[in-house]
Chain A
Amino acid sequence: MATTRRTVVLALVLAAGCGRGKPRLSPTTDEVGRPVTPRALPSHRVVSLAPNVTELLFAIGAGDQIVGIDRYSDQPAGRVEHLPSVGSDYEPSLEKIVGLSPDLVFLSRSANRRETADALERLGVPSFITETPAVADMPRTLRDLGKLTGHDADAERQVARLQQGLAAVRARVANQPRPRVLVVVWPEPLYVAGRETFTHDLIDVAGGQNVAAEVRGYTTFPLERVLAVAPDIIILPTHAASGTGDAAAVAYWKRWPSLPAVREHRVFAIEDAIISRPGARLVQGAERLAALLHPELNPRP
């Protein structure tokens, strides 16, 4: 008898819980097609395991919902420093993540491993893998993050801001000649940014032509082809926002004086995150590239 009454009470409580309008948690699929069931929707406690996701979460106003980040998440500066780190993107501490009891963990296909998501799954922690291979994929990732964290409207505003920002840069350089640009990610052995990279997309937006468009992704490239196609501008993405080592990276190219970019001092170091990361600062990256590619539009006093 007592058991029956308790069952009835329990059923009522459960029914009441549903009745308070908590959305039913049906599985959704992440950007690589895995089924995901967040512990709560919108997720109020989230962990980000990729620097670009961290940036985007802050951009859509979900920064306060982040309870843990990977150790490479460095932006937005001043906001991420106090957040608990759960380790590297490649090998995060699973027990730290579980200990933070997140509703959902965000990963990025390019920064993290699928194994991490599988291991979290086995520990009962739901995870969502984002995949943002091109600038054109940014709206989808922004909207997914917005939907899952309950910031749909903010995500929509960020999509508009990104699209309008890039369109404005594109419009500004539309009638200018397009300089030929090479992006060197590492000098020895020579690695460059080919097509199907964020950097390639942004060079196009900023009114330049990538001379390494024949190769795909970040890959090796023959130095003699660089010498033969003689790019007008060489862009050197560097890791440090502080710019340490930038001067040495630029000076390295002085050994190839036949290159117009070298002769005309148009070899530039630039923070790699703003031109290669699917983060929240792509408009800034496009503007910076446009200023370097088209100094005629930005006369400096």
Chain B
Amino acid sequence: MSAIPPSRLRALAVMAGLAGALVLALLFSAAAGVEHVDWAAALRPDTAAHAIIFRARLGRALLGAVVGASLGAAGVAFQTLVRNPLADPYVLGVSSGASVGAATAIAFGAVEGAPVAGCAFAGALGAMALVYRLGLVRGRLVPYVALLAGVVLNALSWALILTIATLARLGTTAEILLWLMGSLSPPAWSRLVLTTGAVLIGLAALQLLAPRLNALVLGDEGAHSVGVDVPRTRKLLLVAASFLTAAGVAVAGPIGFVAIIVPHVLRLLIGTDHRVLLPASALGGALFLSLCDTLTRLAFVPLGAEPPVSVLTALLGGPFFLVLLWQRRGERLF
């Protein structure tokens, strides 16, 4: 009987801890809010208390968890794909594509969430396809070419968004800006189910690629020597991670910081084995974003307004990450 290696035990403990914390965070989100709610009344449907606890609070926290999971795992995938610790799912143009889609929908008078999310998703996939094709050199996906294409696409998209905002009717500019700041709203159940489904598909695809991601860390030669088809792996990785990002960005807008910070924190805690790093980052992203979003809701009491959730992800995640960076200075970070 072989003993489980201590690194594996540690990873399992971290994952169990994250899963437990996520459950607690969701319960906290259901319990915490600016209104006092009668829990007995909440059990009867069609009461205000029911709508507040199960939809305004829990529905929004669940959407936050799903979006956070997509960003956390996609962050890991993109950082390994382009071998750069600064990469996030937005650097390859996915969120810019989503933003162009959303801005177009808003400019054409969409006020409801579903058409905006649909157009954002289409825009994200369009950007992904473009970056993928431009990144192919003689049939191989070259990370730095894709990166360059993504960066230029970001600039181009921003110009397009500003053009749309300039040509739009009065008031529409502000609405486009609201979308660009990123936020979570209580979703219709159908949208939550669709988003969850899409994110689970993306997570499963990345999980299947996890052993090959481990090989990619060795570099192209190393990966090839352990029998990994590097060009094919890169293509699959880009598609899976972009799809995952698109699903999250479409419903929440581009929320910053989660995809950078969560993978790095978990790499520091459990190492770079992608078989555990990917699910742990998904759980960590889910926990982090749903918690930040609950605090966003509560911030209304002292501030008189709900700040964009990106404010809290940066304010809370930034110092935490810097402390970790200081404590682990001298160790290999990536």
Question: Which A residues fall within an 8 A CB radius of B?
Answer: 51, 72, 88-91, 186-191, 214-216, 219-225, 227-228, 230, 236, 238-240, 244-245, 248-249, 251-252, 255-259, 272
Contacts and interface: CB of A to CB of B under 8 A. Distances in A.
B178 interface: yes
A89 B166 CA distance: 10
B112 A252 contact: yes
A244 B110 CA distance: 9
A223 B186 contact: yes
Contacts of A239: 109, 169-172
Contact of A222 (B47, B173, B297): B297
Contacts of A221: 300, 306
Nearest to A223: B56
A223 B59 CA distance: 12
Given A188-B183, A215-B304, A220-B305, A88 B166 contact: yes
Interface of B: 33-35, 37, 46-48, 50-52, 55-57, 109-113, 115-116, 166, 169-173, 175, 178, 183, 185-186, 188, 297, 300, 304-306, 308
Contact of A228 (B35, B188, B308): B35
B18 to A, nearest CB: 27
Given A225-B34, A249-B112, A258 B178 contact: no
* Interface secondary structure of B, over-half rule: loop
Contacts of B297: 222, 224
Contacts of B110: 245, 248
A219 B172 contact: no
A236 B109 CA distance: 13
B112 A272 contact: no
Contacts of A219: 304-305
Q: Which 6 pairs from chain A and chain B are nearest by CB?
A: A188-B185, A245-B109, A72-B170, A189-B183, A220-B306, A228-B35
24 contacts: A72-B169, A88-B166, A186-B111, A187-B111, A187-B113, A189-B178, A189-B306, A190-B185, A215-B304, A219-B305, A220-B300, A221-B300, A222-B35, A222-B300, A224-B37, A225-B34, A225-B35, A227-B35, A228-B37, A228-B48, A238-B111, A239-B171, A240-B109, A258-B48
Given A189-B178, A222-B306, A227 B112 contact: no
